[in-house]
Amino acid sequence: MPSLTRRDLMLGAALVSAVGGRAAKAAEPVPLRGAPLELVATFAGRQATGIAVSRSGRRFVNFPRWEDDVTLSVAEIGPDGALAPYPDETWNAYRRDGAAVRPQWSFVCVQSVTIDAQDRLWVLDPGAPGLAAIVPGAPKLVCIDLAGNRVLRVYRFSKEIAPQGSYLNDIRVTADGRRAVITNSGAPGCLVTLDVESGAMRRVLVGDPSTQPDPAVEIAVGGRALVKADGQKAEIAADGLMLDESDGSVLFQATTGRTMYTVPLDALFDRRLAPKALSAKVAVAARTFVADGYWCSRKAGRLVTDCAGFAVRRLQPDGTLAVLTQDPRLLWPDSLAEGADGAIYVTASHIPEMKTWQGPGVARTALFRFHPG
């Protein structure tokens, strides 16, 4: 694995002082703590967010169409680090400035990928390039059979499920493959339930305090707040989520927040429950920090990315969150996945460097992995 030198630590400190592209107050060097990171791949000129790893070790990554008109939305990472469009070039052929490929049948702005227990890859496309308006017909969830590398089904989100202002963000599928839950980090924040077989969808906890940005929280990395040029601060609703070990409950939080919530999975799918009755079943699971990625590991427990702390943490039985790995290279640890050997994969998406937040622009991002202790 690449060694981390004193120069790397100094670079990390300079990086966290400079994010935002403006004069920044001094930031303390990010300490190296916990398990060492191994660099898996770097992505020059590409902003990686999601990561998925199959039982056989195949690795998939996605690049949302945020600041650049990407030429690759979903890719498989080869043994040599090379990227191959997945499932094929046609699905990756959409261009924001061209109308040759229909948005219904190509990836427009893929936010996340995950693999379920049936070894199917799920690709979530909110269809909102530049984190702005939704392209008509673009919001979709694509289910791909990894054995045959073929699309099994495309679930389309109607205007009722994903109205303008929505931004579908993350997805988890139950172990039996029958139900899925999706977060909507746009406005108003909510969760979306999906019956995989029937395709029935429903928005739940719409506008509920548990799914909304916390107005008291300011997202800051390295001492610099994420603020747009017009002074608007980052307000990101329900984002990270995971199913617990038995698929009995969903745990989730708003990125602009410091609270992990939990709600019974069956309650989310119970159409008989009125909104207030469902809201009453939501409980606080833990007090957290600004977080993006959630993962329930088979071996390492419940994991959460610490965006401001350049770290991945584990939720302990007493409700505290212990550092598993901390490294200055984890500039905005975004999504998590797990290999068959128990290794945890994490993307560093460099969100604070985005021009949206008055940064210099994202030059490169990276994928790391580590073995929890």
Burial 316-351 (b: 16+ CB within 10 A, else e): eeeeebebbbbbbbbbbbbbbbbeeeebbbbbbbbb
| Digitized pLDDT (tens) for each residue of the chain, 373 residues in all | 333 333 343 334 434 443 434 434 446 789 899 999 999 999 999 999 999 999 999 999 999 999 988 999 999 999 999 999 999 999 999 975 555 578 999 999 999 999 999 999 999 999 999 999 999 999 999 999 999 999 999 999 999 999 999 999 999 999 999 999 999 999 999 999 999 999 999 999 999 999 999 999 999 999 999 999 999 999 999 999 999 999 999 999 999 999 999 999 999 999 999 999 999 999 999 999 999 999 999 899 999 999 999 999 999 999 999 999 999 999 999 999 999 999 999 999 999 999 999 999 999 999 999 999 8
DSSP string for residues in 209-239: GGGS--TT---EETTEE-B-TTSPBP---EE
Helices within 217-321 (DSSP H only): 265-269, 275-279
Listed in sequence order, the residues at least 6 apart from 362 whose beta carbon sits closer than 8 Å to its beta carbon are 47, 67, 350, 353, 354
CA 317/CA 120 separation, integer angstroms: 31
Tokens representing 38 are 């191994």
Sorted by where each starts, the structural domains of the chain and their CATH numbers stand as 6-370 (2.120.10.30)
The residue ranges of DSSP E strands in 65-119, in sequence order, are 74-77, 83-85, 112-115
What's CA 306's distance to the chain center, in Å?
13
- Cα separation of the two ends of the chain: 17
Listed in sequence order, the residues at least 6 apart from 300 whose beta carbon sits closer than 8 Å to its beta carbon are 314, 324, 338, 342, 344, 372
Kind plus residue range of the DSSP H or E element containing 8? helix 6-18
What does residue 116 show for φ and ψ, rounded to 5 degrees? -95, 180
DSSP string for residues in 9-43: HHHHHHHHHHTTSS-----PPPPPEESPPEEEEEE
Closest by CA position to 199, among listed 260, 150, 259, 153: 153
Based on the number of CB atoms within 10 Å of its own CB, is 71 exposed (0-12), middle (13-18) or buried (19 or more)? middle
